[in-house]
Amino acid sequence: MGEAAGWIKAPDSGPNALQAAVIVLRSYGQVVFAAHAVSGLFLLIALATISRSTVWFSLVGIAAASLSAYAFRAERSFIRQGIFGFNGALLGIFWSWYFTVSIVSVLLLVVMAVIVYLVQSFLMNKLSLGRFNLPVMSLPSVIVLIASLLIVYWLVYNAWLIPASAIYRMGGYAAEPLIPMEGVLKSLLPGLPLPRHVVAWLLIFTGILICSRISAFAAALGALSGYAITRMLPATTGVLYTSDLFIGFNAIPVSIGLLGVFLVANGPAFFFTFAGLVVCSVFWLLLIQLFGLLNFPFLTLPFNLTILAVLITLKKMNSPPAGLYPVPLEVITTPEQIILWHKNNILPRAAVKTPETVAQLLLHPSRLFRPSREEINAVQVLVDGAEKIAVLSGAGTSTESGIPDFRGHYNFWRKFGAEDFTYQNFLNREDVRARYWAMERQFYAMILRARVNPTHQAAKWLDDQNRLSCIVTQNVDGLFQKAGVNPEKVIEIHGTEHQVRCLNCGAIGNRQDIETMFPAGIYIPYCYACYGWLKPATVLMGEELDKVLFESALSKILSSDLLIIMGTSLQVDPVASIPALAWKKGIPIIIINSTPTPQNHLSKLFIHCPTGKFFRKFLRQVEKRR
């Protein structure tokens, strides 16, 4: 543990010169969905063949955004992958189209690049983490550039604080290459008509190809499709003026995004990409009219709107249509690796087999009226005859409160890749820690909103009768205590969500106390005392249970004279071994669950019904007897 904690704390130190260079190049690479330093180097050289000011401004943007992320203690893996730097790069590229290189413009760019980080961090917290799992993409750079143009306009023409000549490109944008490859190429191939910036495009394409052949194919597809779309549309001034912007900053990114990055690359995704390009062109034409009236650039907005519209639509559907599979943000790498991940790690959809399915209800209509009066009376007799009642509960006791269990609500867990959430993975993999905390934030919010249901109220009733010896629960939500059950009688065998534990020093803290870290862009909370990583005080797969706690729970169960098992499938050891031990000691067992369990043969009474539904009727009958 000490070694793991020491390794975990290492990212707190800033980058050295080599790491900084890699971060810069990866930031460039992320512009074309390639988190590869060599791909970023090709893009940087491509920019150098177009404009020296674009190179300088983009470097300033990357440096300011990445250093801001370090200063605000953002997730280090995101910084190293260029996730924050690439919006700084885009802001610098856009900046070079409007502003000249001067002290004033550079200082303003630095300020705006810091704001780009803050905007990106805010949007990532709202959109990327938790239940939305949507990419932020280049929205921060677009938002901040538009705001920058408004601010500069006010400073120049309203406040008169800055002369226009000190910041604006008075003659408009003009290419001023740092590496004049276009002239060299024309001298080598005189008389041959060449597309504008052909060398830059070839360099960019090569950089994409180095990272991914699928992305390179998608880029070529997007370029050709974008060119065809601009030629098919009426030759209006607005369309002609923004055709390069549409192809380079919208059509190509849409094609790369839909064919392998945000959707798993396959045949349906290939054909769906054409539909995405049509949607993108519609957004493009609408924004030409809207932003043309305001005389403002819309830059990559069509691309962003298209990807968000597509992903939101697909996520709203219970099953992806025609073989389209949205990719969780936390596993996005290259299309080739995503295909491999999808093939090896996506579990088959969990088949929810409950007695409430239509076919089963047609075969067994009596289940509509469960629990029956006879079943309630049978449970009542056993409860009345016991003085020390132990309860063993599972996730099914809280589903009615809005807290998802793993088997019946698998889609919630699948979108975070929950099959990776083992204890060893949490210790050793930053991506797992980031995904786990993204899931945990949403799960904890559900717990805070959850209300007690009749199952918890029934436990409180038993406690009030002084016949409850203990509740051994696999749940981590604290709803039994919230219902008023004596906390000393509740044994949380899998821990609690209401506390966090430091993996380095072992300190225990209040879960609510770390909530302020997330809005600040900290995706993996750390201990205030020693800066070790924090983990909710719950038991992950592969993590050992507290042996003393388990033995205490088992001792109390075996000293009772009735065991009520509810809301658990009894398929996970060591809890699954408890019913057999109780049966051997002659303790009567009641099992109440929505599905049969492997231990049904040990029970004196099995109630095939959700716990909330059963105890709602049970408590009504108890009330009538008073």
User: Which residues does the annotation mark as catalytic?
Assistant: 494
- Cα 318 to Cα 281: distance, rounded to the nearest angstrom: 28
C-beta of residue 537 within 8 angstroms of C-beta of residue 508: yes
- Cα 622 to Cα 467: distance, rounded to the nearest angstrom: 15
Distance of CA 538 to the CA centre of its chain: 20
Could you give the residue ranges of the DSSP H alpha helices within 33-190? 37-48, 52-71, 76-80, 85-98, 103-123, 139-153, 181-188
**If you search the block for the tokens 């045949």, which residue do you land on?**
267
Kindly report the backbone phi and psi dihedral angles of residue 157, in degrees, each rounded to the nearest multiple of 5, phi listed first: -105, -15
**Residue 80 contacts by C-beta under 8 Å, 6 or more apart in sequence?**
15, 19, 22, 23, 26
Strand, helix or coil for residue 552: helix
Q: Is 150 exposed, middle or buried (0-12, 13-18, 19+ CB in 10 A)?
A: exposed
In one-letter notation, the amino acid at residue 474 is: Q
Among 369, 352, 357, CA closest to 412: 352
Q: How many other C-beta atoms are found inside a 10 Å radius of the C-beta of residue 251?
A: 31
- Residue 546 in tokens: 């507290």
C-beta of residue 475 within 8 angstroms of C-beta of residue 446: no
C-beta of residue 254 within 8 angstroms of C-beta of residue 311: no
C-beta of residue 469 within 8 angstroms of C-beta of residue 489: yes
C-beta of residue 280 within 8 angstroms of C-beta of residue 252: no
C-beta of residue 382 within 8 angstroms of C-beta of residue 604: yes
